[in-house]
Amino acid sequence: MTTKQRSTKQGAAVRDALRTSGGFRSAQDVYAVLRGDGGSVGLSTVYRHLQSLVDEGVVDVIHNADGEATYRYCGDTGDHHHHHLVCRRCGRTEEIEGRAVERWAGEVAAQHGYAQVDHTVELFGVCPSCTRRRR
């Protein structure tokens, strides 16, 4: 556990790119953005930082329909369990928590005798802005 974390500009760049994005982005997206901003980051570095951010718990991951991993900065809320409502058009994301769902999941699992239950719950839709903009 003696992981000496060194703070580098690349690390900050990746974190900021995700934070300002506000939604779920793929590693390749982040890489493209950073490259577009003129910065010179390596693809390996992007993947590396995304992974450690996930380990730290400040970033959430979900796999899209293609199985591609997408990351989202969830900062402080990272320590408590929550889910997402993602706009499938623009990627905008709302954090939601479902007391009800948590309870339900626990009950269902118990009924079937399953232990050590974990769950994934994600909602996808079209956000107000996108709904207004296009039809």
Partner DNA sequence: GAGCTTACCGGTAATCATTACCAACTACCA
Partner DNA sequence: TGGTAGTTGGTAATGATTACCGGTAAGCTC
Q: Phi then psi for 77, rounded to 5 degrees?
A: -70, -5
**At residue 4, what is the residue type?**
K
Residue from the set 15, 112, 133, 134 that interacts with its own copies by CB under 8 A: 112
Residues at the site binding DNA, with contacts judged by CB under 7 A? 4-11, 26-28, 40-45, 47-49, 51, 67-69
Choice between 21 and 93, CB closer to its own copies: 93
Determine the interface stretch with its own copies among 30-38, 42-50, 73-81, 84-92 (rule: CB under 8 A). 84-92
127 binds its own copies (CB under 8 A): yes
Choice between 41 and 127, CB closer to DNA: 41
CA distance 111 to 89: 38
Task: Name the nearest CA neighbour of 50 among 18, 89, 85.
Answer: 18
CA distance 46 to 30: 7
Nearby residues of 23 by Cβ (< 8 Å), 6 or more positions away: 72, 86, 87, 90, 91, 92, 93
Choice between 57 and 106, CB closer to DNA: 57
67 binds its own copies (CB under 8 A): yes
CA distance 44 to 31: 9
55 binds its own copies (CB under 8 A): no
133 binds its own copies (CB under 8 A): no
Binding site for its own copies (CB under 8 A): 63, 67-69, 85, 87-88, 94, 96, 98, 100-101, 104-105, 108-109, 112-128, 131
